[in-house]
Amino acid sequence: MGSFTDAVAVVTGGGSGIGQTTAVEFADRGASVVVADVDVEGGAETVEQIRDDGGDAEFVETDVTDVDATAAMVDVAVDTYGRLDYAFNNAGIGGPSAAVSDHDPDEWQQVVDVNLVGVFNCMKHEIDQMKAQDSGGVVVNNSSILGHVGFTNSSGYVASKHGLLGLTKTAALENGETGVRVNAVCPGFIETPLLEEAGLTTDPDAREKIEKLHPMNRLGTPQEVADAVCWLCDDEASFVTGEALGVDGGYLAR
């Protein structure tokens, strides 16, 4: 396990699920962590967990659709810890289930605003800060298997996650010589509150159907995604940029 001692990480959507687990993992590896979320209670719980384990963390309430809020998020990291080494842009929503022709335009736009525009807002300030540092940094964006393939009744989510991979690759090309690496993870269906809220883990029939989409015939865990994010940030991945790393139990191999 690579050590992140003296490093500083920002995690959006850090109040639950994959974000919370990744924030804790960064801290366990020695990083100071800025936990960002619109969920104040969840974000505070993550910070408390990190501090109880002996780590260092701060919470900042952040709506990623507000570009000024994402600038303030980066400022908190720099003002508190002096730098920003790693950023995991994880905040996202699923949106309603509806066919393209039936989808409410405002609800569709909200999904794109959070999942795609929100990541752009974060990256803009994260990359600027990392470029200003002698040691650069690493950005990891949370896309999805649905950034590669379609999925019925999920057009807003699918479109946003496809767009996120294009954004990741473009930023990687732009920063090939700046010392800033930019990658994405593409989780399969992961055991998170987002799936629970959609009824995909609480309904036995729905769960079985989703599990069978993965050749490993199970859902993934937040820890498995967190480990992949931390590997992409580690020096072991120093020649990896512009990558969309599947953490999907073989879903995309079909």
Catalytic residues: 157
Q: What is the DSSP string of the chain?
A: ----TT-EEEEETTTSHHHHHHHHHHHHTT-EEEEEES-HHHHHHHHHHHHHTT--EEEEE--TT-HHHHHHHHHHHHHHHS---EEEE--------B-GGG--HHHHHHHHIIIIIHHHHHHHHHHHHHHTSTT-EEEEEE--GGGTS--TTBHHHHHHHHHHHHHHHHHHHHTTTTTEEEEEEEE-SBSSHHHHHTTTTTSHHHHHHHHTTSTT-S-B-HHHHHHHHHHHHSGGGTT--S-EEEESTTGGG-
